[in-house]
A = this chain, B = another copy of it.
Protein backbone atom coordinates (compact mmCIF):
# COMPACT_ATOMS: atom_id res chain seq x y z
CA UNK A 1 0.00 0.00 0.00
CA UNK A 2 1.48 3.40 -0.83
CA UNK A 3 1.40 6.44 1.42
CA UNK A 4 -1.62 8.07 -0.26
CA UNK A 5 -3.70 4.91 -0.01
CA UNK A 6 -2.70 4.41 3.60
CA UNK A 7 -3.54 7.98 4.60
CA UNK A 8 -6.89 7.62 2.82
CA UNK A 9 -7.64 4.68 5.10
CA UNK A 10 -6.50 6.61 8.17
CA UNK A 11 -8.99 9.34 7.23
CA UNK A 12 -11.79 6.81 7.69
CA UNK A 13 -10.79 6.26 11.35
CA UNK A 14 -12.24 8.24 14.26
CA UNK A 15 -10.43 11.58 13.87
CA UNK A 16 -9.88 14.30 16.42
CA UNK A 17 -11.46 17.59 15.40
CA UNK A 18 -8.01 19.15 15.54
CA UNK A 19 -6.64 16.60 13.06
CA UNK A 20 -8.02 18.83 10.28
CA UNK A 21 -9.00 15.71 8.35
CA UNK A 22 -5.31 14.71 8.14
CA UNK A 23 -5.01 17.32 5.38
CA UNK A 24 -2.54 19.49 7.26
CA UNK A 25 0.98 19.11 8.65
CA UNK A 26 -0.01 19.46 12.29
CA UNK A 27 -2.87 18.76 14.65
CA UNK A 28 -4.41 21.31 16.99
CA UNK A 29 -5.43 20.68 20.59
CA UNK A 30 -7.46 23.34 22.36
CA UNK A 31 -6.73 23.41 26.07
CA UNK A 32 -7.52 25.95 28.74
CA UNK A 33 -8.07 28.74 26.21
CA UNK A 34 -4.79 28.02 24.44
CA UNK A 35 -4.01 25.93 21.38
CA UNK A 36 -1.30 23.33 21.26
CA UNK A 37 0.18 22.38 17.89
CA UNK A 38 1.59 18.89 17.48
CA UNK A 39 3.29 17.08 14.62
CA UNK A 40 5.16 13.82 14.07
CA UNK A 41 7.58 13.10 11.22
CA UNK A 42 9.84 10.14 10.66
CA UNK A 43 13.09 9.48 8.82
CA UNK A 44 14.31 6.10 7.59
CA UNK A 45 17.70 4.95 6.39
CA UNK A 46 17.58 4.28 2.68
CA UNK A 47 14.51 6.47 2.17
CA UNK A 48 15.34 9.78 3.86
CA UNK A 49 19.05 9.44 4.37
CA UNK A 50 21.90 7.44 2.92
CA UNK A 51 23.42 4.57 4.91
CA UNK A 52 26.66 6.55 5.05
CA UNK A 53 25.04 9.75 6.35
CA UNK A 54 26.44 11.29 9.51
CA UNK A 55 24.00 10.47 12.29
CA UNK A 56 24.51 13.92 13.80
CA UNK A 57 23.16 15.40 10.54
CA UNK A 58 20.22 12.99 10.58
CA UNK A 59 19.28 13.99 14.13
CA UNK A 60 19.66 17.68 13.33
CA UNK A 61 17.45 17.41 10.26
CA UNK A 62 14.85 15.36 12.13
CA UNK A 63 14.43 18.24 14.57
CA UNK A 64 14.54 20.88 11.84
CA UNK A 65 11.90 19.25 9.64
CA UNK A 66 9.46 18.93 12.52
CA UNK A 67 10.07 22.49 13.71
CA UNK A 68 9.43 23.58 10.14
CA UNK A 69 5.93 22.11 10.43
CA UNK A 70 5.43 24.13 13.61
CA UNK A 71 6.76 27.22 11.81
CA UNK A 72 4.09 26.82 9.14
CA UNK A 73 1.51 27.07 11.93
CA UNK A 74 3.10 30.20 13.40
CA UNK A 75 3.73 28.15 16.53
CA UNK A 76 6.27 28.73 19.28
CA UNK A 77 8.11 25.43 19.90
CA UNK A 78 7.55 23.96 23.38
CA UNK A 79 9.52 20.72 23.16
CA UNK A 80 10.17 17.51 21.28
CA UNK A 81 9.93 13.77 21.95
CA UNK A 82 12.32 11.56 20.04
CA UNK A 83 11.97 7.93 18.97
CA UNK A 84 15.23 6.18 18.15
CA UNK A 85 16.24 2.74 16.94
CA UNK A 86 19.65 2.22 18.46
CA UNK A 87 22.64 0.76 16.75
CA UNK A 88 24.14 3.25 14.30
CA UNK A 89 26.66 5.67 15.81
CA UNK A 90 24.29 6.63 18.57
CA UNK A 91 26.76 9.04 20.17
CA UNK A 92 26.81 11.05 16.96
CA UNK A 93 23.00 11.07 16.88
CA UNK A 94 22.85 12.53 20.39
CA UNK A 95 25.42 15.17 19.41
CA UNK A 96 23.32 16.28 16.43
CA UNK A 97 20.22 16.29 18.57
CA UNK A 98 21.95 18.52 21.12
CA UNK A 99 23.14 20.91 18.42
CA UNK A 100 19.62 21.27 17.03
CA UNK A 101 17.97 21.70 20.44
CA UNK A 102 20.49 24.37 21.42
CA UNK A 103 20.44 26.12 18.05
CA UNK A 104 16.64 26.30 17.91
CA UNK A 105 16.24 26.79 21.67
CA UNK A 106 13.80 23.92 22.19
CA UNK A 107 14.06 21.38 25.03
CA UNK A 108 13.65 17.61 25.02
CA UNK A 109 10.37 16.39 26.51
CA UNK A 110 10.97 12.67 26.32
CA UNK A 111 10.87 9.78 23.94
CA UNK A 112 11.64 6.14 23.47
CA UNK A 113 14.63 4.12 22.37
CA UNK A 114 14.49 0.59 21.05
CA UNK A 115 16.87 -2.03 19.82
CA UNK A 116 16.04 -3.09 16.29
CA UNK A 117 17.65 -4.93 13.46
CA UNK A 118 18.01 -3.64 9.91
CA UNK A 119 17.90 -0.06 8.66
CA UNK A 120 17.43 2.64 11.29
CA UNK A 121 14.25 4.66 11.65
CA UNK A 122 13.72 7.74 13.75
CA UNK A 123 10.62 9.63 14.73
CA UNK A 124 10.15 13.00 16.29
CA UNK A 125 7.08 14.57 17.82
CA UNK A 126 7.25 18.34 18.05
CA UNK A 127 4.90 20.29 20.29
CA UNK A 128 4.28 24.01 19.98
CA UNK A 129 1.99 26.71 21.27
CA UNK A 130 -0.14 28.74 18.87
CA UNK A 131 0.83 32.39 18.83
CA UNK A 132 -2.05 33.78 16.80
CA UNK A 133 -5.72 33.12 17.50
CA UNK A 134 -6.26 31.89 13.95
CA UNK A 135 -3.76 29.11 13.29
CA UNK A 136 -2.62 29.20 9.64
CA UNK A 137 -3.59 26.25 7.47
CA UNK A 138 -3.28 25.13 3.87
CA UNK A 139 -6.92 25.87 3.21
CA UNK A 140 -7.13 29.63 3.50
CA UNK A 141 -5.86 30.85 0.09
CA UNK A 142 -8.45 33.10 -1.59
CA UNK A 143 -8.72 34.43 -5.13
CA UNK A 144 -6.90 37.74 -5.37
CA UNK A 145 -4.31 36.86 -2.73
CA UNK A 146 -0.64 37.10 -3.59
CA UNK A 147 1.57 34.01 -3.32
CA UNK A 148 4.89 34.38 -1.52
CA UNK A 149 7.83 32.31 -0.39
CA UNK A 150 10.71 32.95 1.97
CA UNK A 151 14.29 32.37 0.88
CA UNK A 152 15.51 30.44 -2.14
CA UNK A 153 14.68 26.90 -3.23
CA UNK A 154 16.98 24.31 -4.70
CA UNK A 155 19.77 24.89 -2.17
CA UNK A 156 19.12 21.50 -0.57
CA UNK A 157 19.27 19.85 -4.00
CA UNK A 158 22.68 21.36 -4.73
CA UNK A 159 23.86 20.46 -1.24
CA UNK A 160 22.74 16.88 -1.76
CA UNK A 161 24.77 16.83 -4.96
CA UNK A 162 27.83 17.97 -3.03
CA UNK A 163 28.14 21.67 -3.94
CA UNK A 164 30.27 23.06 -1.14
CA UNK A 165 28.28 26.28 -0.78
CA UNK A 166 25.01 24.44 -0.21
CA UNK A 167 26.05 21.55 2.02
CA UNK A 168 24.57 23.21 5.09
CA UNK A 169 21.23 23.72 3.36
CA UNK A 170 20.93 20.00 2.82
CA UNK A 171 22.49 18.62 6.02
CA UNK A 172 21.56 21.32 8.52
CA UNK A 173 18.44 23.10 7.32
CA UNK A 174 17.03 26.04 9.28
CA UNK A 175 13.29 25.93 9.97
CA UNK A 176 11.68 29.36 9.54
CA UNK A 177 10.27 29.47 13.05
CA UNK A 178 10.68 33.21 13.67
CA UNK A 179 9.41 34.06 10.19
CA UNK A 180 6.39 31.80 10.67
CA UNK A 181 5.46 33.45 13.95
CA UNK A 182 5.78 36.91 12.47
CA UNK A 183 3.68 35.92 9.46
CA UNK A 184 0.90 34.23 11.45
CA UNK A 185 -1.39 37.27 11.74
CA UNK A 186 -0.86 38.29 8.10
CA UNK A 187 -1.22 35.14 5.99
CA UNK A 188 -4.40 33.62 4.58
CA UNK A 189 -2.71 30.23 4.09
CA UNK A 190 0.75 28.90 4.94
CA UNK A 191 2.76 25.68 4.71
CA UNK A 192 6.38 24.71 4.56
CA UNK A 193 8.01 23.67 1.29
CA UNK A 194 9.22 20.24 2.32
CA UNK A 195 8.37 18.22 -0.79
CA UNK A 196 9.07 20.76 -3.55
CA UNK A 197 7.54 24.12 -4.44
CA UNK A 198 5.36 22.89 -7.30
CA UNK A 199 3.94 19.93 -5.37
CA UNK A 200 3.38 21.89 -2.18
CA UNK A 201 1.85 24.81 -4.11
CA UNK A 202 -0.41 22.33 -5.89
CA UNK A 203 -1.45 20.89 -2.52
CA UNK A 204 -2.20 24.30 -1.05
CA UNK A 205 -4.35 25.14 -4.06
CA UNK A 206 -6.22 21.81 -3.84
CA UNK A 207 -6.79 22.24 -0.10
CA UNK A 208 -8.02 25.81 -0.56
CA UNK A 209 -10.21 25.09 -3.59
CA UNK A 210 -8.45 27.68 -5.73
CA UNK A 211 -5.98 27.84 -8.58
CA UNK A 212 -2.49 29.14 -7.90
CA UNK A 213 -0.57 30.69 -10.79
CA UNK A 214 3.19 30.85 -10.25
CA UNK A 215 5.40 33.13 -12.30
CA UNK A 216 8.58 31.20 -13.14
CA UNK A 217 10.54 34.41 -13.60
CA UNK A 218 9.90 35.44 -10.01
CA UNK A 219 10.78 32.22 -8.19
CA UNK A 220 14.15 32.50 -6.40
CA UNK A 221 16.10 29.37 -7.29
CA UNK A 222 19.60 28.35 -6.30
CA UNK A 223 20.53 27.62 -9.91
CA UNK A 224 18.67 29.05 -12.89
CA UNK A 225 20.21 26.35 -15.10
CA UNK A 226 18.50 23.80 -12.89
CA UNK A 227 15.17 25.60 -12.57
CA UNK A 228 13.02 22.55 -13.27
CA UNK A 229 14.82 20.55 -10.59
CA UNK A 230 14.92 23.37 -8.06
CA UNK A 231 11.14 23.82 -8.10
CA UNK A 232 10.58 20.08 -7.67
CA UNK A 233 13.18 19.18 -5.05
CA UNK A 234 12.20 19.06 -1.38
CA UNK A 235 14.10 19.59 1.84
CA UNK A 236 14.46 23.36 1.64
CA UNK A 237 12.01 24.08 4.48
CA UNK A 238 11.16 27.56 3.31
CA UNK A 239 7.64 28.88 3.90
CA UNK A 240 5.03 29.18 1.16
CA UNK A 241 2.15 31.50 1.98
CA UNK A 242 -0.62 33.63 0.59
CA UNK A 243 -1.74 37.06 1.76
CA UNK A 244 -3.62 40.13 0.69
CA UNK A 245 -1.31 41.76 -1.89
CA UNK A 246 -1.73 45.08 -0.05
CA UNK A 247 -0.58 43.60 3.29
CA UNK A 248 2.75 44.77 4.64
CA UNK A 249 4.88 41.71 5.28
CA UNK A 250 6.87 41.55 8.55
CA UNK A 251 9.66 39.42 7.03
CA UNK A 252 11.58 39.25 3.76
CA UNK A 253 9.72 37.20 1.18
CA UNK A 254 9.36 37.08 -2.58
CA UNK A 255 6.07 37.35 -4.39
CA UNK A 256 6.00 34.43 -6.82
CA UNK A 257 2.42 34.34 -8.02
CA UNK A 258 -1.25 35.00 -7.56
CA UNK A 259 -4.26 33.07 -6.31
CA UNK A 260 -7.09 32.80 -8.82
CA UNK A 261 -10.58 31.39 -8.66
CA UNK A 262 -10.59 27.62 -9.18
CA UNK A 263 -9.95 26.88 -12.86
CA UNK A 264 -11.75 23.58 -13.40
CA UNK A 265 -9.40 20.69 -12.73
CA UNK A 266 -6.18 22.68 -12.75
CA UNK A 267 -5.02 23.53 -9.22
CA UNK A 268 -1.86 25.28 -10.36
CA UNK A 269 -0.04 26.82 -13.31
CA UNK A 270 3.64 27.48 -13.75
CA UNK A 271 3.43 30.38 -16.18
CA UNK A 272 1.15 29.03 -18.93
CA UNK A 273 1.83 25.37 -18.07
CA UNK A 274 -1.02 23.59 -16.31
CA UNK A 275 0.18 21.47 -13.36
CA UNK A 276 -2.29 18.62 -13.20
CA UNK A 277 -0.33 15.46 -12.36
CA UNK A 278 1.14 15.70 -8.84
CA UNK A 279 3.37 12.72 -9.62
CA UNK A 280 5.52 14.98 -11.82
CA UNK A 281 5.76 17.90 -9.42
CA UNK A 282 7.96 16.95 -6.51
CA UNK A 283 9.11 14.46 -3.99
CA UNK A 284 6.67 11.79 -2.88
CA UNK A 285 7.58 8.85 -0.72
CA UNK A 286 6.65 5.27 -1.48
Q: Which residues of A contact B (CB under 8 A)?
A: 1-3, 6-7, 9-10, 12-19, 22, 26-27, 29, 31-34, 36, 38-48, 78-79, 81-87, 90-91, 94, 97-98, 101-102, 106-119, 121, 123, 125, 127, 129, 285-286
Contact = CB atoms under 8 A, between A and B. Distances in A.
Counting from the closest, the 7 A-B pairs by CB-CB distance are: A115-B286, A32-B32, A118-B118, A44-B116, A32-B34, A16-B107, A27-B109
Contacts of A90: 1, 6, 9
A137 to B, nearest CB: 13
A47 B16 contact: no
Nearest to A286: B115
Contact of A125 (B2, B40, B97): B40
Contacts of A78: 16, 29
B39 A83 contact: no
A233 B234 CA distance: 45
A99 to B, nearest CB: 10
A13 B118 contact: no
Contacts of A22: 108, 110
5 contacts: A13-B94, A14-B98, A31-B31, A33-B33, A81-B125
Contacts of A118: 46, 117-119
A112 B27 CA distance: 12
Nearest to A111: B40
**Count of identical protomers in the assembly:** 2
Given A1-B90, A40-B123, A83-B42, A114 B31 contact: no
Contacts of A111: 10, 40
Given A29-B36, A108-B16, A44 B85 contact: yes
Contacts of A36: 29, 31, 36
Nearest to A90: B1
Contacts of A1: 86, 90-91
A187 to B, nearest CB: 21
A19 B115 contact: no
A110 B44 contact: no
Nearest to A17: B107
A11 to B, nearest CB: 9
B27 A81 contact: yes
Nearest to A66: B112
Contacts of A47: 114-117
Given A1-B91, A14-B101, A16-B109, A121 B85 contact: yes
A13 B83 contact: no
Nearest to A1: B90
Contact of A31 (B32, B42, B106, B107): B32
Contacts of A48: 114
